[in-house]
Protein backbone atom coordinates (compact mmCIF):
# COMPACT_ATOMS: atom_id res chain seq x y z
CA UNK A 1 0.00 0.00 0.00
CA UNK A 2 1.28 3.39 -1.02
CA UNK A 3 2.14 5.90 1.56
CA UNK A 4 0.43 9.28 1.77
CA UNK A 5 3.60 11.00 0.67
CA UNK A 6 3.71 9.09 -2.58
CA UNK A 7 0.04 9.77 -3.24
CA UNK A 8 0.60 13.48 -2.82
CA UNK A 9 3.53 13.44 -5.26
CA UNK A 10 1.51 11.52 -7.83
CA UNK A 11 -1.37 13.94 -7.51
CA UNK A 12 0.91 16.92 -7.93
CA UNK A 13 2.54 15.35 -11.03
CA UNK A 14 -0.87 14.63 -12.56
CA UNK A 15 -1.90 18.25 -12.03
CA UNK A 16 1.28 19.57 -13.71
CA UNK A 17 0.84 17.16 -16.63
CA UNK A 18 -2.75 18.28 -17.02
CA UNK A 19 -1.69 21.92 -17.16
CA UNK A 20 1.06 21.17 -19.70
CA UNK A 21 -1.25 19.22 -21.99
CA UNK A 22 -3.81 21.96 -21.78
CA UNK A 23 -1.19 24.53 -22.85
CA UNK A 24 -0.02 22.42 -25.83
CA UNK A 25 -3.47 21.61 -27.26
CA UNK A 26 -4.65 24.41 -29.69
CA UNK A 27 -7.61 26.49 -28.72
CA UNK A 28 -10.93 25.68 -30.35
CA UNK A 29 -11.69 27.47 -33.70
CA UNK A 30 -14.60 29.35 -32.24
CA UNK A 31 -15.63 31.21 -29.13
CA UNK A 32 -18.90 32.38 -27.79
CA UNK A 33 -19.50 35.91 -26.54
CA UNK A 34 -22.89 36.78 -25.25
CA UNK A 35 -24.59 34.17 -27.38
CA UNK A 36 -22.67 35.16 -30.60
CA UNK A 37 -20.40 32.52 -32.04
CA UNK A 38 -17.05 33.94 -33.36
CA UNK A 39 -15.14 31.75 -35.79
CA UNK A 40 -11.69 33.27 -36.65
CA UNK A 41 -11.10 31.07 -39.72
CA UNK A 42 -14.54 31.91 -41.18
CA UNK A 43 -13.93 35.61 -40.51
CA UNK A 44 -10.59 35.51 -42.35
CA UNK A 45 -12.19 33.76 -45.31
CA UNK A 46 -14.91 36.40 -45.47
CA UNK A 47 -12.30 39.20 -45.44
CA UNK A 48 -10.35 37.51 -48.25
CA UNK A 49 -13.53 37.10 -50.34
CA UNK A 50 -14.46 40.74 -49.79
CA UNK A 51 -10.96 41.86 -50.84
CA UNK A 52 -11.12 39.82 -54.03
CA UNK A 53 -14.55 41.22 -54.83
CA UNK A 54 -13.30 44.76 -54.28
CA UNK A 55 -10.35 44.09 -56.60
CA UNK A 56 -12.71 42.83 -59.30
CA UNK A 57 -14.82 45.98 -58.93
CA UNK A 58 -11.71 48.15 -59.20
CA UNK A 59 -10.69 46.29 -62.37
CA UNK A 60 -14.12 46.87 -63.88
CA UNK A 61 -13.93 50.55 -62.99
CA UNK A 62 -10.52 50.83 -64.67
CA UNK A 63 -11.88 49.09 -67.78
CA UNK A 64 -14.79 51.53 -67.92
CA UNK A 65 -12.37 54.45 -67.54
CA UNK A 66 -10.22 53.11 -70.38
CA UNK A 67 -13.28 52.68 -72.58
CA UNK A 68 -14.40 56.22 -71.80
CA UNK A 69 -10.93 57.57 -72.64
CA UNK A 70 -10.93 55.60 -75.90
CA UNK A 71 -14.34 57.00 -76.84
CA UNK A 72 -13.17 60.54 -76.06
CA UNK A 73 -10.08 60.06 -78.23
CA UNK A 74 -12.17 58.65 -81.07
CA UNK A 75 -14.50 61.63 -80.82
CA UNK A 76 -11.52 63.99 -81.01
CA UNK A 77 -10.17 62.11 -84.02
CA UNK A 78 -13.49 62.64 -85.80
CA UNK A 79 -13.62 66.39 -85.20
CA UNK A 80 -13.19 68.47 -88.35
CA UNK A 81 -10.67 71.29 -88.63
CA UNK A 82 -12.51 74.60 -88.04
CA UNK A 83 -10.10 76.46 -90.33
CA UNK A 84 -10.33 76.20 -94.12
CA UNK A 85 -8.15 78.03 -96.64
CA UNK A 86 -9.73 76.41 -99.68
CA UNK A 87 -11.68 79.44 -100.91
CA UNK A 88 -8.71 81.88 -100.77
CA UNK A 89 -6.52 79.36 -102.59
CA UNK A 90 -9.15 78.83 -105.26
CA UNK A 91 -9.53 82.60 -105.64
CA UNK A 92 -5.78 82.93 -106.26
CA UNK A 93 -5.89 80.17 -108.89
CA UNK A 94 -8.85 81.86 -110.59
CA UNK A 95 -6.92 85.13 -110.65
CA UNK A 96 -4.01 83.42 -112.39
CA UNK A 97 -6.38 81.80 -114.88
CA UNK A 98 -7.93 85.18 -115.66
CA UNK A 99 -4.50 86.65 -116.37
CA UNK A 100 -3.76 83.79 -118.76
CA UNK A 101 -7.14 84.25 -120.44
CA UNK A 102 -6.34 87.92 -121.03
CA UNK A 103 -3.41 87.05 -123.27
CA UNK A 104 -3.32 89.51 -126.15
CA UNK A 105 -3.34 88.72 -129.88
CA UNK A 106 -2.22 85.04 -129.94
CA UNK A 107 -3.97 83.43 -126.93
CA UNK A 108 -3.24 80.22 -125.03
CA UNK A 109 -5.37 78.10 -127.35
CA UNK A 110 -4.08 75.29 -129.54
CA UNK A 111 -6.36 76.04 -132.50
CA UNK A 112 -5.72 79.77 -132.33
CA UNK A 113 -1.97 79.19 -132.18
CA UNK A 114 -2.05 76.86 -135.18
CA UNK A 115 -4.06 79.35 -137.21
CA UNK A 116 -2.27 82.59 -136.32
CA UNK A 117 1.23 81.13 -136.11
CA UNK A 118 0.84 79.53 -139.51
CA UNK A 119 -0.41 82.75 -141.04
CA UNK A 120 2.08 85.16 -139.47
CA UNK A 121 5.23 83.09 -139.06
CA UNK A 122 5.21 79.71 -140.78
CA UNK A 123 3.54 80.52 -144.09
CA UNK A 124 4.68 84.11 -144.52
CA UNK A 125 3.94 85.42 -147.99
CA UNK A 126 7.24 86.78 -149.34
CA UNK A 127 5.79 87.51 -152.78
CA UNK A 128 3.74 90.47 -151.71
CA UNK A 129 4.58 94.12 -151.93
CA UNK A 130 7.12 95.89 -149.80
CA UNK A 131 4.29 97.56 -147.88
CA UNK A 132 2.66 94.20 -147.12
CA UNK A 133 5.93 92.77 -145.82
CA UNK A 134 6.47 95.80 -143.60
CA UNK A 135 2.96 95.46 -142.21
CA UNK A 136 3.56 91.75 -141.51
CA UNK A 137 6.82 92.52 -139.70
CA UNK A 138 5.09 95.18 -137.61
CA UNK A 139 2.30 92.75 -136.66
CA UNK A 140 4.79 90.12 -135.57
CA UNK A 141 6.67 92.70 -133.54
CA UNK A 142 3.44 93.70 -131.80
CA UNK A 143 2.81 90.05 -131.00
CA UNK A 144 6.19 89.81 -129.27
CA UNK A 145 5.65 93.02 -127.29
CA UNK A 146 2.16 91.92 -126.20
CA UNK A 147 3.46 88.50 -125.16
CA UNK A 148 6.16 90.02 -122.96
CA UNK A 149 3.54 92.32 -121.42
CA UNK A 150 1.32 89.32 -120.68
CA UNK A 151 4.26 87.51 -119.09
CA UNK A 152 4.93 90.48 -116.82
CA UNK A 153 1.28 90.55 -115.75
CA UNK A 154 1.30 86.86 -114.86
CA UNK A 155 4.54 87.28 -112.94
CA UNK A 156 3.05 90.21 -111.05
CA UNK A 157 0.01 88.10 -110.17
CA UNK A 158 2.20 85.29 -108.87
CA UNK A 159 4.16 87.75 -106.74
CA UNK A 160 0.96 89.22 -105.32
CA UNK A 161 -0.11 85.73 -104.24
CA UNK A 162 3.00 85.28 -102.10
CA UNK A 163 1.56 87.29 -99.22
CA UNK A 164 -1.63 85.23 -99.29
CA UNK A 165 0.44 82.05 -99.31
CA UNK A 166 2.43 83.26 -96.30
CA UNK A 167 -0.74 83.97 -94.34
CA UNK A 168 -2.20 80.60 -95.31
CA UNK A 169 0.94 78.72 -94.25
CA UNK A 170 1.02 80.48 -90.89
CA UNK A 171 -2.65 79.74 -90.20
CA UNK A 172 -2.47 76.12 -91.30
CA UNK A 173 0.70 75.36 -89.35
CA UNK A 174 -0.85 76.88 -86.22
CA UNK A 175 -4.01 74.83 -86.75
CA UNK A 176 -1.98 71.67 -87.32
CA UNK A 177 0.03 72.14 -84.15
CA UNK A 178 -3.12 72.73 -82.08
CA UNK A 179 -5.10 69.90 -83.70
CA UNK A 180 -7.03 67.80 -81.17
CA UNK A 181 -7.32 64.69 -83.32
CA UNK A 182 -5.99 62.80 -86.30
CA UNK A 183 -8.70 64.13 -88.64
CA UNK A 184 -7.85 67.76 -87.90
CA UNK A 185 -4.14 67.11 -88.41
CA UNK A 186 -4.85 65.30 -91.70
CA UNK A 187 -7.09 68.12 -92.93
CA UNK A 188 -4.45 70.71 -92.08
CA UNK A 189 -1.90 68.66 -94.01
CA UNK A 190 -4.24 68.37 -96.99
CA UNK A 191 -4.73 72.13 -97.07
CA UNK A 192 -0.97 72.64 -96.98
CA UNK A 193 -0.75 70.34 -100.00
CA UNK A 194 -3.45 72.42 -101.68
CA UNK A 195 -1.36 75.52 -101.02
CA UNK A 196 1.62 73.85 -102.68
CA UNK A 197 -0.60 72.98 -105.64
CA UNK A 198 -1.65 76.63 -105.93
CA UNK A 199 1.98 77.76 -105.86
CA UNK A 200 2.84 75.20 -108.52
CA UNK A 201 -0.03 76.55 -110.61
CA UNK A 202 1.42 80.07 -110.32
CA UNK A 203 4.85 78.76 -111.24
CA UNK A 204 3.44 76.86 -114.22
CA UNK A 205 1.59 79.95 -115.43
CA UNK A 206 4.71 82.10 -115.08
CA UNK A 207 6.87 79.64 -116.99
CA UNK A 208 4.20 79.23 -119.67
CA UNK A 209 3.73 82.97 -120.20
CA UNK A 210 7.46 83.61 -120.32
CA UNK A 211 7.97 80.68 -122.68
CA UNK A 212 5.20 82.02 -124.92
CA UNK A 213 6.88 85.42 -125.11
CA UNK A 214 10.28 83.92 -125.86
CA UNK A 215 8.82 81.60 -128.49
CA UNK A 216 7.02 84.43 -130.28
CA UNK A 217 10.14 86.57 -130.13
CA UNK A 218 12.24 83.74 -131.58
CA UNK A 219 9.64 83.13 -134.29
CA UNK A 220 9.64 86.84 -135.08
CA UNK A 221 13.41 86.79 -135.44
CA UNK A 222 13.24 83.79 -137.77
CA UNK A 223 10.53 85.42 -139.93
CA UNK A 224 12.48 88.67 -139.95
CA UNK A 225 15.53 86.86 -141.30
CA UNK A 226 13.51 85.27 -144.08
CA UNK A 227 11.96 88.59 -144.97
CA UNK A 228 15.35 90.32 -144.88
CA UNK A 229 16.77 87.81 -147.35
CA UNK A 230 13.85 88.44 -149.70
CA UNK A 231 14.23 92.18 -149.43
CA UNK A 232 17.95 91.89 -150.07
CA UNK A 233 17.31 89.71 -153.10
CA UNK A 234 14.89 92.26 -154.49
CA UNK A 235 17.35 95.05 -153.88
CA UNK A 236 20.15 93.21 -155.69
CA UNK A 237 17.98 91.91 -158.48
CA UNK A 238 18.93 93.29 -161.96
CA UNK A 239 16.54 95.83 -163.38
CA UNK A 240 16.06 99.51 -163.75
CA UNK A 241 18.57 101.40 -161.71
CA UNK A 242 18.00 104.33 -159.48
CA UNK A 243 16.16 107.17 -161.19
CA UNK A 244 16.43 110.49 -159.45
CA UNK A 245 13.27 112.55 -159.09
CA UNK A 246 12.54 116.06 -158.01
CA UNK A 247 11.60 116.35 -154.38
CA UNK A 248 9.99 119.32 -152.73
CA UNK A 249 10.94 119.76 -149.12
CA UNK A 250 8.95 122.84 -148.23
CA UNK A 251 5.67 124.23 -149.36
CA UNK A 252 5.29 127.84 -150.24
- State pLDDT tens for residues 75-88: 666 677 777 888 88
- 3-class state of residue 33 by DSSP: strand
| pLDDT tens-digit readout, 199-240 | 999 999 999 999 999 999 999 999 999 888 888 888 887 765
Q: What confidence score (pLDDT) does residue 39 get? A: 65
Least confident of 121-125, 142-146, 166-170, 192-196: 121-125
| pLDDT tens-digit readout, 22-68 | 444 444 444 444 555 556 777 778 888 888 888 888 888 888 888 77
Q: What confidence score (pLDDT) does residue 20 get? A: 45
In what helix (H) or strand (E) does residue 37 lie, and over which residues does it extend? strand 36-38
125 Cβ contact list (under 8 Å, min separation 6): 132, 136
Q: What confidence score (pLDDT) does residue 37 get? A: 58
| φ and ψ of 242, to 5 deg | -70, 130
| 101 pLDDT above the threshold of 70 | yes
- Distance between CA 118 and CA 103 in Å, rounded? 18
Query: For the whole model, what pTM was predicted?
Result: 0.62
- More confident call, 11 vs 179: 179
**Domain covering 86-236 in this structure, CATH number:** 1.10.287
pLDDT-based confidence at residue 2 (cuts at 50, 70, 90)? very low
Q: What residue ranges do the domains of the chain occupy?
A: 8-77, 86-236
pLDDT-based confidence at residue 19 (cuts at 50, 70, 90)? very low
| pLDDT tens-digit readout, 151-194 | 999 999 999 998 888 888 888 888 877 777 778 888 888 888 88
DSSP string, 115-174: HHHIIIIIT---SS-HHHHHHHHHHHHHHHHHHHHHHHHHHHHHHHHHHHHHHHHHHHHH
**CB neighbours of residue 111 within 10 Å:** 8
CA 241 → CA 128, 235, 238, 247, distances in Å?
21, 10, 8, 18
| 100 pLDDT above the threshold of 70 | yes
Amino acid sequence: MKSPRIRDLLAAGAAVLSITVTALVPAPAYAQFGGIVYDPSNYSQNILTAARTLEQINNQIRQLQNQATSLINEARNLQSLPLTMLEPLQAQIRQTQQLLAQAQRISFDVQAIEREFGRQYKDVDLTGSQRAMVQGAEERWRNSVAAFEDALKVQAGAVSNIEGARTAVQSLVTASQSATGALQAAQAGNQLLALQAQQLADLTATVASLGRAQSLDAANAAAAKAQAREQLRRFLAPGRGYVPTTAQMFRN
